[in-house]
Every structure is written in C-alpha cells, then in structure tokens.
Structure 1
Amino acid sequence: MFLKSLTLKGFKSFADTTVMELEPGVTVVVGPNGSGKSNVVDAIAWVLGAQAPSSVRSQKMDDVIFAGTSKRPALGRAEVMLTIDNSAGLLPIEFTEVTVSRVLFRSGESEYAINGVECRLLDVQELLSDAGVGRQQHVIVSQGQIDAVLNARPEDRRGIIEEAAGVLKHRKRKEKAERRLEGTEANLMRAQDLLREVRRNLRPLERQAESARRHGALIGEMRSLQMFLAGRELQSFQARLTNLANDKLAGEEAERGLRAKLSSLDTAVMAAEAQLSARGDSGVNDELVRIEQLRGRARGLVAVLVERRRSVERDRGQLMDSGVIATLEADAANLRSDLAKVAEQIAAVKAVSASGTTDQGSTLEEAQVASQKVAELSARVRGLNEDIDRLRNIVATDARNETELAQRLVDADAARVAAESAVDSAMSLFSTAQSDASTSASRAESLQLTLDANGTSAAALRDIEGTLGALSGMIDIDSERRVAVQVALGDALSAVVAQNVDAARRALQELRQTGAVGAVLALNAITTVPSTPLINNGTSLRSHVRAKPGAHETQVNRLLDVLLSRVVFVQSWADAVEAALAHPEAVVITGDGDRFASSGMRVGTSNVTASALEEAHRRAERAKEALGRAESDLATARTRMAQARDTHATALTLLERHRSTATETNARLSFAYDSLRSVQAELQGLLSVLRNDLEVKSAGLQERRQFLQSRLGDVEARLNADVEARNAAAERRNKIEVGLNALVRLSALVEKHSATLDARQAELQEIRRRQSDEVRAISQRLDEARKDRTSNEQLLEERRERNRRVEVEEAEVRMRLEATIEALRRDHSVEPQAAIDTPQPELPEGTTPIARVRELERELRLMGPINPLALEEFDELQKRHTFLEEQLEDVKNTRRELIKVIKQVDMEIQSTFASAFADVRDNFEKLFSMLFPGGHGKLLLTSPDDLLNTGIEVEAKPSGKNVKKLSLLSGGERSLTALAFLFAVFRSRPSPFYVMDEVEAALDDVNLHRFLSLIHEFRQEAQLLIVSHQKRTMEAGDCLLGVTMQPGGSSRIIVERAAAAAS
C-alpha cells in the first residue's frame, strides 16, 4: 500500500489543477521559500481529515482556499484528492485503488468522498485506522512538530503510540460503554426512585379503584340502557323518514303527473281555440255574401238585357225617317256616356287590383268585402307575430334564467365541495388539537410525578426533629433569573434543610432506613464562604435569590452564600465556554440554563423543574384552547356544509321547474308558428281569389268598352254619311239583329250563371250549417277542457301543499334524528349503528328500561363523588409498577454487561499498549544508539502500575553528556531524539507511508548523515515523502518533486527521477 497520486485544485497556492504522481521509495519535495512546498504536506493532512486550522498552518479553515493575487481572482472552493494503491488489500475495501477526496466551499460547507461516493469524516478515519493512520495523524510530521514531541506532556506521547498501535478504537468502545454506563446508572437511580413512589401510591389507589369500578359498572349499565333506548328512537325516526321519503316521492310523482296533464290540457285548450278561430275565419259567410251580391247583379243585368231587347226590337221595327239623325245623335251621346262609365269602372278595377282595397262605386262591393277580409287576416297575422315575439322573449328569458340557474347549481355544488373540504380540514385540525392536548397533558402529568418523586424525601423527613423543609420552599427567586438559579442550585433545591449537623445526621439515618433518596443541607455547617471568581462579562447570581423572612432567614442566606459562591452568570454560550476553560474553579451558568464546570458541561436545562411543569401546564391550556377552537371550526364547517347542500338541492329543484316551464313555452311557441302559417296561407288564397275576380271583371269591362266604341263609331259614321242613310239604316238593322242575337245569348249566359250561383249558395249554406255544428262541438270540448284544467290546477295546488307539509315533517324528524345522533356522539362517543345494534340489557323482572335508568341514576347520586380516573390510574400504576420492576432488572443486567465490557476493553487496551510500548522502547534504544553512538536513551512509564492512563517520559543521554532533561540538549540533539522516538514508533507499528516537512532543518552535517542513514533503512519498509532544503537529502531521494511559483501567483510541480538527475 502506498500513495499513488495527489491532486490539488484551488488549495492554498495551487490555483490550477495539479496532479502529483507518487511512487514507492523516497520522494523529496524541493523548491525555494514561498513556492508552496509545505502546502503539499498540508494537503495530505487536510484530505485525511485534519480539523484544526493550525494543523494546516491557517488561522481559519477557509484560508486553505486560493485567496487570489493581483493578477488572478480568488476561487470559491478548494479540493484535494489522494489516491492510495490498495493492491495488498490493507484497507478494508474491495478496491485496488482508493481515492479519498475533500472539498471545502467558502460558504463553510465541506464534503468527503471515497471513490466518488459522498461519505462522512468518520468513514474516512475508520477506513484508514487499520492502516495505522489515525485522527492524530502521527505519520505526518509537519514543521515544528519535532519540538512538539519533546515538549509534549507524557500523556500526549502515549497518544502517539496508541494511535500507531490501534488502541484508539478500543478507547472509543470504552468511551461509548462508559457513556452508556453513566446513562444506565442515572436510569437505575431514577427507576428505583419511581418504584418506591409507585409502591407508596398503589394501596390508596386500589380502594379508590374499587369504588370507581362499581361506579363504572353502574355507568356502563346505564349507558347500555340509554344506547338501547336511543337505538329504538333512532329506528323509529328512520322508519318515519323512510315513510316520509316514500310519501315525498309519491307526491312528487303525482305532482309531475298533474303538471303533465295540465300541460296536455293547455295544449288541448289552445288547439280548440285555434280550431274555433279557424272555423270562425273559414270564409263561408263571406262567400255567401259575395254570391248573393253576384245574384243581385245578375238579376239587374237580366232586367237591362230585357229592356235592351225591347228597344232593339222597336228600333228594328222602325224605318229610317227624318228623325233618324236625331236618334243617332242621341244614341251617340248615350254611347259616349256608357263608354265613360265603363272607363271609370275599368280604372276602379285596376285600382282594386293594385292596392287590394277600395270603396269607390257601387259595382265594387265584392272588392270592399274582400278588402275587409284581407284586413282582418292581416290583423290576425300581426297579432300572431306579436304573440310569437312575446313567446320568443319568454324563451330567451327562460334561456338566460336557465343559464343563471345552471351557474347557481354549479356554484352551489362548488360551495358544497368546498364545505366538505372545510369539514375534512376542520376534522384534521380537530384530531391534531386532540393529539396535542393529550400529549401536553401527559407531559404535565409526567413532570408532576417526577417533581412529586423529588419531593418525597422532604415529605419523609418532615417529622424529623430539627428539619425545616425543602430549600425550594424557603427561598424566593427573581423571575428573570429563575432558570439560571435552578440550574446553579441543582439538587440542592429539593434538599431538606436541617438546623444543625446532628439534625442532618438524623435525617440521613431516616433516609437510609426508609430507602428513600434525597439530599440534606445543614445550616452553619460551613463557616467560610469561598470568594466568587472574577470573570469578564460575568455577574453573581446571589443577588437574585434570597431567604424568605423568618426565624432562620440569616442562616439560609448564609447557606445560599456558600452554595452560590463559585457560580458566575454570563449571557453568551461562547463566553461561558471560555470562562469555564479559563477558570476551572468556577461554575458558569448561562441565561438558557447551560452549565459549564470542570466536573462537566451540560447544554440545556433539566426537563424536570417547576418551571418546566408550569410551561407544560401552559402548553396544555393552549392545547385545550386550540381544541376548543377546532371544535368550533368543525361545527361551523358542518353548518356551512349543510347550508351548501340545501342551496344545491334548492337550485336543482328550481332548475327542474324552470326546464318544465320552458318546455311548455316552447310548445306554445310552436303552436303559434303553426297558426301563423295557417293564417298566412288563408290570406294568400283570399288574395289570389280576389285578383282572379278582378281580372275577370276587368276583361268584361274591356269588351264592353270596345263594343260601345264600335257602336259609337257606327252612329258617327251614319251621322257623317247622310247620303248613305238608307244603306246605313239597313246596315244598322243588321247590326241590331246581331245585337239582338247577342242579347239573347247573353241573357241565356246570365241565367245559366244565376243557376250556378244558386247551387253554390245552397252548397255554402250546407257547409255553414256543418261548421256551426262543429263549432258548437269544439266549444263544448273547450269548456270541458277548461273545467278539467281548473280542476287539475286545484289538485296540483293541493298536492303541492301536501308535499310541503311532508317536507316540513321530514325536516322536523331529520332534525330530531340528528339531535339524537349528536347526543350519542357527544355523550357516548358511538355511531348511530352501534346504538341500533345494541341489544336490550337484562333487566330485573317487572322493570322497564326507563325505570331501570331512573333507578341507576338514584344509586349513582347516593354513591357521592367518585374519582373517575382511579381505576385507570390504578391499572396504569400497577402496570407501571410491573414495568418498573422489569425495567429495573433490565437496567441492572445492562449495568453488569457494560461493566464487563469496560473491563474487557481495559484489558485489551492494557495488553495492546504494553506490547506496543515494549516494542517502541526497544526500537528507541536501538535507534538512539545508532543516531548517538555511545549514547543511551530510554522510554519510561510515568505510572507503571496504571497502564490505562500512564504517560511516557523520554530519557536521552548522548555520549559524553550526563543530562536527563531534554531541554538541556542542543537543537540538533533534540531533533534527533524526537526523530528517534517517531521512527521507533514507525518501526514498531509500521504504516505504509510517512510524510515529513523539513524535519532535518536544524541538523548539522554529522547529524544529517545519521538521519539519512535512518532514512535509508526505512526506504524499503514504507513510502517516504520528505520536504527539504538539504542537498544531501535531495540526493538520497528516488524522485524529486520541484515546486515553483508561476508569475500568476500559482504553484507548479516539476517531476524529476533520480536516474535522470544523475545523468
């Protein structure tokens, strides 16, 4: 095993990553002053776990990080990696190469690693301890350590041998066992005290427990009866709720049926009304009126045709005479008049055809009737459009309301979920508060028991003559220094104060006889008061404690002077440590209750004090308050959850009702659309008929105008052609014949049309009769539907009222059920099902459960006050008694085992140290004789009979000198003597490597020669790494490592083998 390589990065002067390859044999590190040679030794010591900054020549540990130069900034971390060749398997790890690394950051964080795996410093030390490299690092001899070996105390020299011999691990085992033994001793005393106290309290509690057991039996029987009665009541409530729920479901189903029936009745009513409206607007009456008008016109036309025929016949019978011209002129005037009238009628017909409405002329009565019908239908269209717009608005409003209700439902559901979450959180807080309250109460009870146990000695000695009571009851302490004074006085607070030494002896005798544990203080036993040590920043606690007024006030104050004479109070923990180290005779107390003295140091106050009990009671009170708040928060959360659930149910009901209303509104809107389409179709049909009639009338008038124009032309021609009068008269006679024939045909056509109108009139009258019958039937159905609707509305309202009554009754029953359940949980801490499942307890014959409950209540009143915790306390105390006896036996066995282990470890330490010391002593004598020919050196034990603690003295007598003190030797002799001691240790318990830093600096040539001969002997046994300025030492090395300082302020390594140097 040997050091294979050393890697430095940011360590001291090695700013750059520097790798040093090391080999077995002697390696000499050389270089000018200030180049960083010794930093190599510091790096090895640091990576192996050096903790003191002085061990690496620093003021504080972060000084090892490269601090920077004028040309190079400082670094933030230092890292060193040491690789060890473990091919021989000397280290207890399954690797042939082991790399130990250490990193330090400027923030103070430090990391260790073995082969890249992060570990603890302890892991590194345990890994290397079997190789002889311990915490004191005796294998690394740094500058100044030579004189330190000679000037060290004998015990420190022993530590070097123990480390080399591997005794330190036994020391650790012993220290651990002693700490455990010390804790075991304290536990033993504690267990004995508690056992005595438990035995003293066990008998009275047994009597109280018997009464409590009887009381508990009565309470249990009454509780069973109450649970049985509550279970019967719960079953009654649940059955009633089930019936009410069924009634509610049936009522809701009936209400839905009535609503559906109302909806169908509304639809039937609206359909009947629509049918009535359609029958009223069928147009049969209008058509009858129009036919009657057409028949009247036909009769008038027949009369005109008869009169014209007579006139034509008269004209045919006449001959052309002298008055023919006058006749023709009269005919022309008549024809012009008829032509003007026909023109007016044509204009009126065109106007009617264009606008659809007119009231001009007696020949347009049909147009007027049609126009009125069109107006009525248009009014109905407008009304239906208004109804549709109104229903659309209702539908839009319903949609918005439905959206709003849906949002309310979502919000209500979110509120319900949040309320349930709040209940869960409140339950968690409630459980936590219950746990805290229980823990605080247990802590206060434990402290009370401990303080009671501490006060047992005072109670046991109260009747002894000459005792005054416990010191704690005879003094007053300022509140701001209470903790410090309690720590300073310690066990003296619970000690019994005696008037004199004789009374103290009697008190001690009583404690011995009764087996009690306690302390006794005698007044006036000490006549002198030691002076208080003078410590910087320290004050006396004496002014903060005083005796209570009374007969013994002066003596108690004197006792306090004695007890607190060596006690000094400081505020800072660090100041307390320094003061305790500087003044071993003082007892230093801090404000936090830390205690520092030569007998030992303790951080923190004792847990078993009156102030701790007060604090425990305060915590218990705060825990109770927190529990109360948690109960209140839980009740509030449950109330909010119930409200959120009610809101959610209400929103859901409203949404369902609104959707039902929206369905009815949509049905009405659909019916309105159907009615509108029907009226629009009827209006279009009427307008089409009206246009056709107007077109026919217009065509007839056009023909008549043409006829009149033709006749007018004829008459005018006759007037203008007197010469041809006869011929014209003959022609006129012919035309008259033709007109007469036309009149005959027209009369026949009019008569035929009149017959058609009569038939149509009879047909329409039959249709009107049938429609009247249908209207009467529809009206009858409409009346019946309205009556049914009114009846169903009344039934619906009655059903709603019954449903509301059921809901109210259900709420009342549910409230009573919840109250019963809450009472069960509050009074009996059980769930409802447990009460329902509770069977009826056995009762005396002729006794009812309610009567038995009253009888039990009377018996409980007669028993009087009972300690409700007596039974539990007795069982607990009995268990505690058994437990303490078992624990006491376990502690005794543990104590015996620890003592046995300590003895075995002591024997191992003595054996190992004795063997190692004998080897070192022999090797020291040989090496001293070699380094000082003719001289004599010895190692002596300061206490040969105490091999566990003895120190080692070094006796050196160079040749020709009769001196025994090392201080009388020269510097070189002292260095050689120290080297002889170290190398004797190295040879007795070899280590795989040794590191020395300028250990030969004080040697002259002769002594240097002797040192190099010693190096030559050891070069085959171990790897040597030597930092030196001596040329002869460099020549003795197998490898030279040159360290130089670069211009940038960073060290650099130059490697040169011995063979290359020689060449």
Structure 2
Amino acid sequence: MADASDPACGFFARPAHRDCVGLSNRESVLVRLTKLEVHGFKAFADHLEFVFEKGVTAIVGPNGSGKSNVSDAVRWVLGEQRARAMRGAKMEDVIFHGSSSRKAVNMAEVSLHFDNSEGDLPVPFKEVVITRRLMRTGESEYLLNRAPCRLRDIQDLVRGTGLGADSGVVIESRMIDALLSDRPDERRELFEEAAGVGLYRDRRRSAERRLEETTVDLARLDDLINEVQSQVRSLSRQRRRAERHAELTARRFQVEISLATREMASWREELVALDDRLVALQQDVPGGEEAIAQAELRREQAHGARSAAEASRLELARLSTEQRDTTQKLERELAVSEERQRSTTMRKQRAEEERKENEAFGRRLREDRERAIGDRTTLETELADAGEALQERLAAEQTTREAVQQARAVLEQLERQVREHRDQARRIELDRDGASREHLETQNRREALEIERQQLADALDVTERELIAAREQVSIAQANAQDALHALEGARLVAATARTADAESRSALASAVQSGTALEGRLNALAALERERVGLAPSAAKLLKERERFGDGAVLGPLTDFLTADGEAAQLVERYLGATMHAIVVRDADAAAAVRRWHADTQPGPLLLLPLDVVTDLGADADGLAGSVQSSGAASRWVRALLGKVRAIDRGDAFIDERGAVFLPGTATGPGPLQRRAEITRLETDLAAAEARRDECLMAAEAARLALGEAERAQQAAMDTSNRAQQESRRAADVQQEVERRRERAERELQQSSALAERLISRLEELDSRTKQLAQQAEALHARAGEADAEITDAREGMSVAERDQEQAREARATWQVAQAQAQARLSVAIDREKRLNEEDSTAAARLESLARELTNLSEADQSLAQQLNGWRTELDTEQKTLADADARLAGAERAVAAANAALDEAERLLDDARRRASALGEQLHGAQLRHTELSGRREAIRQRLETEWRRTLEDLLTGFEELDLDTEALRTEAKQLRDSLDELGPVNPLAIEEHEEEQRRLEFLTGQRNDLVAAKQSLHQAIREIDSTARELFLATFSQVRENFRQIFLRMFGGGECDLRLENPDAPLDCDIEIHASPRGKKTQRIHLLSSGERALVALSLLFGIFLTKPSPFCLMDEVDAPLDDQNIGRFVKMLNDFKSRTQFIVITHNPRTTSEAADAVYGVTMQEPGVSSIVSVRLRGGQQVDETVVPDDAIAGEIGGDEVDEDSAAEPSPA
C-alpha cells in the first residue's frame, strides 16, 4: 500500500495510489508549465522564451521554420539520450551550427519552468526549473533550479507524473503507428508510467541485485566454511600429535637428566688425578726451556758471523757485475757506431748515382715536351678541318630526310585510302550477308507464325468455355461466404455479451482485491504498532524492557494488556483514564518497592504502579464503564476499582462517579492502545469478510472467463468458417480473373500475331531491295581500290630512291663524325701528355735539390762517427782492467762464507737436542691438559645441551629431580627409543592446540554468518514477491481504468464502434504485451493495422486521452498529430482539447487553421526571417491580451492562425525574448 510520500504517485500528485487511479474526477493538475527557454538549440540561435498560460497554446509556422524543434527541445531537456530521436547522427547536432550570416555557438541550453506555488512538488521552491546544457566538446550537465544535479535526480523527480523522455508528454505524428502496431514496449511504458510501477521495478531490480550479491556472498562463505572446516580437521590431527609429542618429551626429560647425572659423577675422580699430574709437569717444563734459550743464543752468534761474511760477498759480487755490464755496454756501442759509419758511406754512394740519373732524365723530359707542343698544334688544325666537312654532310643529310618524309606521307595517304575502301567493302559484304540471313529467318518466322495463329484461335475457344464454368463457381462461393458471415455475426454478439460479463466480473474482483489489500495493509500497520507498544509512556516502556531484573512475575504488564472493548467503549475508557492507561500492574507491594528503588536510580520519568495485593474489589454498576469492557486475569479488580462506579454523561463528553464527582476531560487526543486493539479486532472481521467477497468474485470471474472462452472459441470457429468461405470465394474469383486474363492474353496475342505477320511481309520486301543496293556499292569500292594500288606502287618506288639518297648522306655524315672524334681524341691525348711532361720535369728538379742536401748531411755524419769511435775504444781498455781486480776480491769473500756456515750448523744441532727434551715434557703436559679439558668439556656440553634443550639452568633442572631407578644401559636404550619415537612423529605444530581452538571459534562464527545470509536471502525472495504483488495490483487497477476510459473516448471520437485493451497473458500482466483492438462504426475489422492513417491517429489520441483521464500530466505537446484528420475529425479533436484543457496544458504544433482558431487560447508563430535562424514572430491570446513581442505575421503564419483570430491592432511593449 503506497503512502502519501510514495514516489510511485509522483511529486505532481501527493495522495496515495488509490487517489492516483481516480484522477479523472479532478479538475486540474496541481502543477503547471509556465515557460520554455531555449538558447543555441538547433535553429534557435538566440535566447528565446515561450511563456505558457492555462489551456491550449498553438505553435504555427511554415515548413522548415523550426517549429518542430520545440518538441525536440522538450524531449531533450527531460533526458532523451538517443541522437536519432533528435533527428541527428550524434548528440552534438542539437547545437546551433551557424548560418550564412552567423557563426556556430558552442553550447545548447534548454530550461522548463514549472509553477510550484502550492508546494505540491517535493522541493522547497515555488518555481521548479529543469535545465540541460550540452557543450560542443561533448560535456553535458543537468541543473535543478540552476544547481547541478544528476539525470537520475530529475528522473526520480518526474517519475509517476507523466513526464519523462520516454513518456507520452511529447506526441509526434510519426509515433502513432509505433504506439499502435510494432512498438509494444513504448505502449507498456505509457501504462507503467500512469500506474506508477516504475519505482517498484527499480526496487525489484535493486532487490534482485542484492539477492544476486547475497547469493555470491553465500557461495563465497560456503567456500570459506569448507576451507575452515578442512583447516579445523587438519589442526585437530596436529593437536593430537602435539599432545603425544608433549608426553614423549616429558618422559625423555626424566631419562636424559638421569643419564647426565650418572655420567658427570663417573668423571669426577679422574679429574682430581689429572689436576695432580698437571702440577708436577708444570714444575719440570721451565728447566727445559732454559737449555733451549742458551742453545738459541749460541746459534744466533754463529748466524751473525755468517750474515756478515755473506753481506761482504754480496757487495763484492754486485760491484763485479756492475763493472762487467759497463764493459759489455761499451763494446755494444762501439759495434753500433762502426755499423753506422759503414751505412753512411753506402748511402753517399747511392745518392751520388741517383743524382746523375735524375740529371739525364730531366734532359729527356725537355726534349719530349717540345715534341708534344708541335703535335698539339698539328692536331688542332686537323680538328677544325673535320668540323667544317661534318657541317656540310649534316646539311645534305637533312635535305634527303625531308625528301623521304614527303614520299612516306604520300604513300601513307594512299595506303589509308585503300584500307578505307576495302574496310567499307567488307562492311557492305557483311551487311549483305546479314540481310540475306535475315531474309531467310524472316521467311521461316512467317511460316511459324501462321501455325501459332491457328493454335491461339483454338486456345481462345477453350478459354471461353473455362470462363463460363469459373463464373458459376464464383456465384456458389459468394453464397456460402454470405451464410458464414451471418453465422459469424451471431457468434460475435454472443462473445460481446460474454466479454462484457467477463469485464464486469474482473472489475468486481479487482475492487475486492483492492479493498482486501487496503484492509490487510492497515491491519499489518496496526499490528506492528501494537507489537512495538507505540503510544506507551517512555518510563513504562523502559520498565517493561527491564522487567526480568525484578524476578519472574513481578512486573505483569501495562493495564491495557488486560482490557478489551469495542470502538466506542474503548474511546470512552481512554478519555476517562487518560494517563492511567500507561499504569503498570505489579504482583504485590514488594514488587512495587523494588520498582521504586529502580525508579529512584534511573529516573525514567513519571510512572504509575498498580499492586494486585492492595486493591479492593468494590464491584461494578450495571451502567458503569466497567460493564462496557472485558477484563482478564488478576488485573480485573483494578479495572472494576477504576471503572466500576463511573458512568459517561453528555454523550461521553463528561464522566461522573459514585460520589457525584464530575470529570471533564480535555481536548481529545489520538487513539490509544485500547482503541487500536479494538480497531484491529474490527479490521480482522472486515478482512475475513473481504476475503470471502474476493473468493466469490474470483469464482464469478472464473465462470465468466470460462463462458468468455467458450464464446470466443465459438466466435473463432465461426470466423474460421467465414474465413474459409471467403477464401473459397476469393479463390473462385481469382480463378475467374485468371481465366479472364488468359482470354484477354490470348486475344491480345492473336492480334499481335496478325500485326507481326504484316510487318514480316513488309520487312522481306525491304531486305530484297537492300541486298541489291549493297552489291552495287561493293563493286564500286573494289574498282576504286584497284586504282589506288597502282598509285601506291609508284609512290613506293619514289620513296625507295629517296631512302637510298638519305642512307648515302647518313654514311658520309657518320664518316666525318668519326674523323672529327678521332682528331678530338688525339688532341686530348697530346694536351694530357704535354701537361704530364711539365709535371714530371718539376718533380725531377725538386728531387735533384733533395739529393744535394742529403749528400752534404751524410758527409758531416761520417766525420762525427769517426771521432766518437776513437773515444769509446780508449774507455773500454780502462774498464776491462777494473773488472779483473773485482773478480779476485770476490773469491776471498766466498771462502769466508763457507767457514761461517760450518759454525752455524753445529749451533743448530745443539738447539735441536734441547728442543726435543723440552718437547717431550710439553707433550706430556699437553696430554694431561687435553684429557682434563675433554672431561671438563663433556660436563659443560652436557650442561649446555640440557640447558639449551630444556631452556632452564642445570641447577633448576636438578632441583627436586628424582633419578630413575634403572640401570645405565636401560636408560640409554629408552632414551634412544624416545628419540626414535619423536623422530618418527616428525615436526609438530606447538601452537596447534591454540590454533585449533581459534579456528573452531572462527568456524562457529562463519556458520552463524551463513545462517544470517540464508535468512537474508529468504527475506529478499519474500520482498520481491511482495513488490511483484503490489506492482501487479497497481498495474491491473490502472489498466482497468485506462481500458474503461479508452472505450468512452473511442466512442466519442468515432461516434460509435467498439474497442478494447487486452493483456496477451493475464497471468503475467507486468511482462506481457498489451493488445489494442479497434473497430470504428460500420467496420468489422479488429486489426488496427488495417485502419486508415486518420483512424489510427484517432485511436492513438483516444488511448492518450484515456491515460490522461487516469493520470493527467502537467502538460502535453502534440507535434502535427492532427495532420491525417479530415475536417469532421478535426472538429472532434478540437472538442476533446476543449474538454481537457481545464486539467492539462496542451501545446499543439499544427498546420490546421481550425485547430488554431477553435481550440487555441494562445498562438506562437515561428519563422525564419533571418535564413537559418528561427525566431518568435507573434504570440496571441484570446481576447487580444498580448504576452510577447508582436510582429505582423507573414502570409504563411497568418493563414495557419486563421484570419478571424489575428488582431493586428493589439500592440504591446516587446518582452526580453
């Protein structure tokens, strides 16, 4: 059940949906379109305003003026996303592209203004402005009262109001066929918009999306639970292994400690003996070390003497080696200088010889150069003579070439003439052969045509007889079809009666269902309030929440829990008791005292307690308030005590008790818990009655549906029979027409054959004449070709003579060209040789100068080398004498070194003996120390091993330890077995016990989460079922109302006939197609596809007005929908506009003067005074009131407005538009 704030009814209509369905009784919608602003949209380049008043506003203008852009602007600002719907290839096409005199703009903006002065829109503004902008960069934005918003916000704002890009707010002529034939989706959107089920569809999609997410989460959670369960099982096994490991480790601790204590006790005596041995050895070791020191001193003295002798020998050896190196170096330098002296002498000899050769070569070069200069002069003369002779030959060759070209031109002209004659003769021969073949073919065709004419005459006779038989069959079939048509009319009457009964039963069922739904919704709401104890005092409610703290049965509950009454009695009791209705009944005074202490601690507010053990039962008067209520339980005494002696007076406006005291209550408050419980009881009774009434209507609807099914089947059978009869009639008529066509064709072919025979005879005569003429032309051409052949022979002989002369001239020219080239080549060689000789002469002179300088340098070097050799020979003699003295001194030093080595060997032997004796003592000491260290290390190793393994000091481990009563071997065996068992057990997880407990808690948590998700999934399924049920009820109620309104409007539009709206699948009304059936008066067709364009337009308008009757939109824009209507239907259309304009604004784009003059309260003219730019040229109101700029309209606009409505004298100041 939709409440007043449910967007399903839209913000244009605040009441609940039950009021939305019945809006046909309202006189006008609560909101109104006041203005349309466009700027840069399509042809509206400037900022323009369309101001709309109540009633009908007509927009007129010639074709191409841009008036249909108004409907595009309205659809676009309401959120249209399809560029195709805007008559463009892309959305940027709606921006003004410029004209011959204007540049393009970069933004399109459209705004719709709505009057919200009554506050009926769910926004705190007196005017609501919806704006859409689009930049040429592709950026788009929506604004609500100039504040940016989302398209979704605007869609939510207008949902359920009849507005929207996909709703029927804009009706175009091209949409009529789509609405009624091939576009069931758009048709359904109109109905859903009227029913307000769009919100429920969104909620269902949201619920389905949440259901899908819940399903995915549940699947993931199942996977996670499986994983955690596997982990728990694994940890369980690890826990058992960890516990076994702990048991084995504890036993091993006892065994290992027992072994360690026994081993350390056995090593204690050996360590004491080792300590005594170490003391004795440490006293003997110093004497051996002193003997080693004295031996080492003697060895050091011998070693020093040997080192001094060795140093002297090394110094003498060094001096001898240096002297020998100096002597050898002088010998090598002396040999090198002698070799250089010999080389210099040889080079002087070679340079002298080369100088003599170069002088002879220079003389030969000068002689060759003089001969080259003479050759060059001679060759230059020869080259000039050859050039003159070549020019003469070139002129002669040109003369012969021109003669050959003239002869060749004459020959080619003659040959071309011969080819033309022969080609013409061949064509004539071919034409003559073709004429002969055509003559033969025409003769054969004439003979075949005579046979065909005879056959056509025979076929014509047969066709005449078939035509007579076909006419008889047509008469019989038409009679059968007429009989079947009468039977169909009877079946249709029966079906119409059954259909009316079915509609009435469905309407009654829908009414019963709606009533039951309303009662059930109210009952559920009250039950929820009762469960939540809404209306109970806060202090009492808090006490009830904490009643457990006072013990079982201490706090029994509020007084109203023990009272029941009907509606009037409940109201009287609540008015009298007032705040006492919130009193809490407690068991006794002790419970009251406990509550008082709680009240003092918590301070929840005023609270009235009614202990049962202190109340006195005073009885009740027969006419007291206690007699009008029913009480139960132990609180009955308090009920009688409070109400037993009280009576209502003055029709319940006052109360009087047994003492005569009069109680006058204040202003009545809302119903309390007692009235609410009374209403719940009444609603339960009414709901049971409504369900019984619904069941009765359901049975009646089922019976009517069965009867309708029988009637429709009978109608269908009659229709099938009629169709078959009509098909037989049409088939017979088709056979008759086919026979008539065959007869006509036979007659036509016979006539054509006769005409063709005459044409063939004429053609034969023409072919005979043409054959003779072509033979004469061929003979003449052959004669002219023979004459031309003789002329060609003469021309060829003349051209041969000219070609021989040309060849001789060409050979002479070539000979002199070769001579000239040879002379030029020899001249070039002579010039190159002269140049080369000059260069070689210069090179030879430079080489002679170089050789003279080289001879001078070699002489000077020879003298210097001779002086150097004499000096080095004297120095070599001196160095050789010094080397002999050094060798003698070195031999004496080597003898001294040999004596020092013998003394050193003796000192080494004595030192070795002392060291062997000391080493023996050291080894004994070391052995004792090693054993002592070994035993001490074992004890320390045992200590460290135990402390490391058990993570405690040895003293702590031995504290309180009791050694096992087993022998050592048994302990070792058990220790090995324990180690083997632990190794076999392998590594264990020491945290397995804690991890197992943690994972077990996690598994329990995840299982709880899964249970919550399963419950949420079931809740979502239930929510989807409830949404479907509510949307189904809303849709069916709206569909029934639209169906009835459509019938009424259709009858008014067509002046009779029948129509209907049907659901293709009534069991699935939210998903099936909606079928439209319409039969204008006097027609039997049910298919709207067979209606004319005007009839389809009227059907569409009937459906549109039927939806408006169900749920009016603030305005409706019609774009040339009256174009298919004739004058009579225009009158009906105008009458309908006048009937509905009090509740809906109409903006009609039209070319029809009657629509403008008879229905329009205001007229806008749209024109293109500036090419490519639309502008508003006139706005007129009935009575001459002017609201916008007035310009005298052009002839086209004046004709569409209507001459009797144009008042050119009504002038006003121009508006900002």
Normalising by structure 2, report the TM-score.
0.34
Normalising by structure 1, report the TM-score.
0.38
